[in-house]
A and B are shown apart, each in its own frame.
Chain A
Amino acid sequence: MTGMIRSWPLALTAAVIAVLVILPLLLPNFWIANILGRSIAYGIIALSLTFLATYGGFVSLAQTMIAGVAGYTIAILAPTAIPAGAGWSYGLAIPFAILMATLAGLIVGAIAVRTRGIYLLMITLALAVGFSLFVQSNVELFNGYEGIRNVVGPDVFGMPFRTPLVFYYVSLATAVLLYLGVMYLVRTPFGLVLQALRDNSRRAAALGYNTALHRIAAFGAAGFIAGCGGVLTCFYNIGISPGSVGMGATVNILIMSVIGGLGHPIGAFIGALIFTLIDTFAASIYDRDRFNTLIGLLFLVIVLASPDGVLGIGKKLAGLFRRKERSAEAAPVSPAQASPAQSEH
């Protein structure tokens, strides 16, 4: 996780955004909604995982569940839902759903506050499984195994949300805002403290930081991101059922993040796109099992070959080309710096 790409150049970011804005005008609807739009919406949920992993060093398996909290909230409140729920307007229901996801993030953060590494993984997985079983067994509120249907989303400029271009552009705008927000946040005191916790939480405490509170707040911020993704994927699926928050869905988000790379937030979207492409084409050409085999193999190869995912592979290649230049540059070293690094004992 230390292999961070430090300066993703601004020009490149702008160029990618420009391409993403123009691209749908050249593509059929299926690609706009079911490949790109879907990748972006799920990529947002993956972003919440990648954000915590890259900057906090926390790998949380509860992010799909937190997205599900937003999904279920919006489904219960939506005016169009079947079976009918509270019947709020989308204008109220959407912010409330994201607020609930943020709260869920804070709660997960508080529950997991003392754990790291494999234990954090286990406790967040346990919470995810618990939530999935809870919604499955509760018929009154969540309509049990069937879930809630016909959550179509609000009209945007008089067009239904499910219009491919509307869904795509709203998802893209949300993703860009969240991505830029993350890139900004990590340069603020809050974001720097998060990275301090990742690198050395004992030192952070010795400097006066209440490390537990900072961790919880970081999970809250990730909950907000996951909540935005949860609302979008709920509209994409026109509803939500226990499958959306089950083990499979949880693992899928983890796979996206890991394939893309946990070294930089953009990895979440790259991973989501690769995942969606394989999912769509492997599953349509062959059968479901073929997809699982393929994605499983890819996951294995990436974890073994490059812990930083596709981004890491790209960085390694770039590094190979750059090494020559740098060794030429680094030649004149002042004698004061030239002393060899020593280990303490």
Chain B
Amino acid sequence: MTSPTVSGTQAPALSLKGVGRRFGALQAVRDVTFDVAQGERRAILGPNGAGKTTLFNTICGDFPPTSGSILLFGEDISALKAYQRARLGIGRTYQSSLLFDGLSVIDNLYLAIRGARPGRFSMVKPGRDNPELARARELAEMVRLGHVQDRLVTELSYGQRRQLEVGMAMGLSPRLLMLDEPAAGLSPIERPELSRLLRELPRSLTVVLIEHDMDIALPMADRVTVMKDGAVVVENTPDNIQTDPMVHEIYLGHRRQGHA
């Protein structure tokens, strides 16, 4: 197991200091600074194109930030590669599912569980009673895919793929879970299922959640950060966010447009 040096147990789970990301002329994320405390649930709201996904990508190491620094439990991870950050305990989902389509559900989860553990190059086939396989079966049950665990990902329904997304992120036993619009594209029938699944996540886990659906995001969140044009506009409690006129202006206003 990798056990990173934690400077004081009360270091924030995630600490962003002036994080920016530029794509050519476009400043997709600008000077984002906020902390997420250990065990906190943070929702990130904002209209499409606000830079929420890009912020996730810089935190997870898909590409480095062009400015600022990112601390995970007090450790600066700005220069680390994506796989190194995963090993330090960042689990994430993607706005549009990125799964291993040619493999079964159980193999997907098995790979997710093994990713942050030693023996990644093992050339020995896991036995039937392999503990990691057993954990993969548990995880399949947890994300309600137990009955389809031997199916290929390509044979899953859209809703099931979204559930597997969450399972994959949980596989590496993350210390920080980052969910990028987990309910994106789900039908009204599928939504409550995923919402219930998210509510069942262990309370001790630190979660950062991007979600357009207020009904999913606000009941879960301890605090809410609102982004627009790459920058943080407001940070507050869910109650205050709901009544904040500026949020209504930029977020709900946009939402009405978007869904018109």
> Cβ of B99 and Cβ of A203 under 8 Å apart?
yes
A-B CB contacts (within 8 Å), total count? 124
- Name the distance in Å between B99's Cβ and chain A's nearest Cβ: 7
- Name the distance in Å between B64's Cβ and chain A's nearest Cβ: 14
CB of A341 within 8 Å of the partner chain: yes
Cα–Cα distance between A269 and B185 once the two chains are bound (Å)? 45
> Cβ of A207 and Cβ of B95 under 8 Å apart?
no
Which of A195, A206, A341, A344 sits near B103, CB closer than 8 Å?
Answer: A195
> Cβ of B159 and Cβ of A344 under 8 Å apart?
no
Query: Which of A135-143, A208-216, A250-258 is near enough to bind chain B?
Result: A208-216
Q: Please, which residues of chain A bring their CB within 8 A of the CB of B83? A: 205-211
Query: Which of A154-162, A185-193, A297-305 is near enough to bind chain B?
Result: A185-193
Cα–Cα distance between A191 and B125 once the two chains are bound (Å)? 9
Which of B102, B117, B121, B185 sits near A199, CB closer than 8 Å?
Answer: B102
A200-B121 contact given A208-B83, A344-B185, CB 8 Å threshold: no
**Given A205-B83, A209-B120, A344-B184; 9 other pairs, CB 8 A cutoff:** A190-B123, A192-B110, A196-B103, A208-B120, A208-B172, A209-B115, A210-B83, A339-B189, A342-B186
- Name the distance in Å between A218's Cβ and chain B's nearest Cβ: 10
Q: How large is the interface on B (under 10, 10 to 19, 20 to 34, 35 or more residues)?
A: 35 or more
Cα–Cα distance between A343 and B171 once the two chains are bound (Å)? 25
Cα–Cα distance between A207 and B101 once the two chains are bound (Å)? 16
Contact with B along A9-45 (1 / 0, CB 8 A): 0000000000000000000000000000000000000
Q: Please, which residues of chain A bring their CB within 8 A of the CB of B154? A: 2
> Cβ of A343 and Cβ of B185 under 8 Å apart?
yes
Q: Please, which residues of chain A bring their CB within 8 A of the CB of B102? A: 1-2, 4, 195, 198-199
- Name the distance in Å between B113's Cβ and chain A's nearest Cβ: 9
A189-B126 contact given A206-B82, A341-B157, A344-B185, CB 8 Å threshold: yes
> Cβ of B172 and Cβ of A207 under 8 Å apart?
yes
> Cβ of A205 and Cβ of B187 under 8 Å apart?
no
CB of A286 within 8 Å of the partner chain: no
> Cβ of A192 and Cβ of B111 under 8 Å apart?
yes
Cα–Cα distance between A326 and B26 once the two chains are bound (Å)? 51
Which of A4, A204, A207, A214 sits near B171, CB closer than 8 Å?
Answer: A207
Among A233-284, those with CB < 8 Å from B are none
CB of A184 within 8 Å of the partner chain: yes
> Cβ of A189 and Cβ of B158 under 8 Å apart?
no
Cα–Cα distance between A208 and B80 once the two chains are bound (Å)? 12
Among A185, A190, A206, A210: residue with most chain B CB under 10 A: A206
Cα–Cα distance between A123 and B120 once the two chains are bound (Å)? 28
Smallest CB-CB separation from B185: which chain A residue?
A: A344
> Cβ of B111 and Cβ of A341 under 8 Å apart?
no
CB of B240 within 8 Å of the partner chain: no
> Cβ of A196 and Cβ of B159 under 8 Å apart?
no
CB of A217 within 8 Å of the partner chain: yes
Cα–Cα distance between A203 and B95 once the two chains are bound (Å)? 12
- Name the distance in Å between B149's Cβ and chain A's nearest Cβ: 14
Q: Please, which residues of chain B bring their CB within 8 A of the CB of A345? A: 185
A344-B99 contact given A192-B110, A196-B111, A202-B62, CB 8 Å threshold: no
- Name the distance in Å between A208's Cβ and chain B's nearest Cβ: 3
Among A187, A189, A200: residue with most chain B CB under 10 A: A189
Contact with A along B114-136 (1 / 0, CB 8 A): 11110111111110000000000
Which of B99, B116, B157, B171 sits near A339, CB closer than 8 Å?
Answer: B157
Contact with A along B130-160 (1 / 0, CB 8 A): 0000000000000000000000001001111
A189-B100 contact given A206-B82, A339-B189, A342-B185, CB 8 Å threshold: no
Q: Please, which residues of chain B bring their CB within 8 A of the CB of A189? A: 111, 114, 119-124, 126
> Cβ of B60 and Cβ of A206 under 8 Å apart?
yes
A217-B121 contact given A195-B102, A344-B185, CB 8 Å threshold: yes
Cα–Cα distance between A344 and B103 once the two chains are bound (Å)? 22
CB of B40 within 8 Å of the partner chain: no
Which of B86, B158, B160, B185 sits near A206, CB closer than 8 Å?
Answer: B86
CB of A327 within 8 Å of the partner chain: no
- Name the distance in Å between B111's Cβ and chain A's nearest Cβ: 5
Cα–Cα distance between A340 and B185 once the two chains are bound (Å)? 11
CB of B229 within 8 Å of the partner chain: no
> Cβ of B120 and Cβ of A203 under 8 Å apart?
no
Q: Please, which residues of chain B bring their CB within 8 A of the CB of A200? A: 98-101
Which of B101, B159, B186 sits near A2, CB closer than 8 Å?
Answer: B101
- Name the distance in Å between A327's Cβ and chain B's nearest Cβ: 15
> Cβ of A339 and Cβ of B190 under 8 Å apart?
yes
Q: Please, which residues of chain B bring their CB within 8 A of the CB of A342? A: 158, 185-187
Cα–Cα distance between A189 and B124 once the two chains are bound (Å)? 7
Smallest CB-CB separation from B88: which chain A residue?
A: A208
CB of B211 within 8 Å of the partner chain: no
CB of B112 within 8 Å of the partner chain: yes
- Name the distance in Å between B157's Cβ and chain A's nearest Cβ: 6
- Name the distance in Å between A126's Cβ and chain B's nearest Cβ: 28
Q: Please, which residues of chain A bring their CB within 8 A of the CB of B117? A: 208
Cα–Cα distance between A210 and B87 once the two chains are bound (Å)? 10
Among A161-199, those with CB < 8 Å from B are 184-185, 187-193, 195-196, 198-199
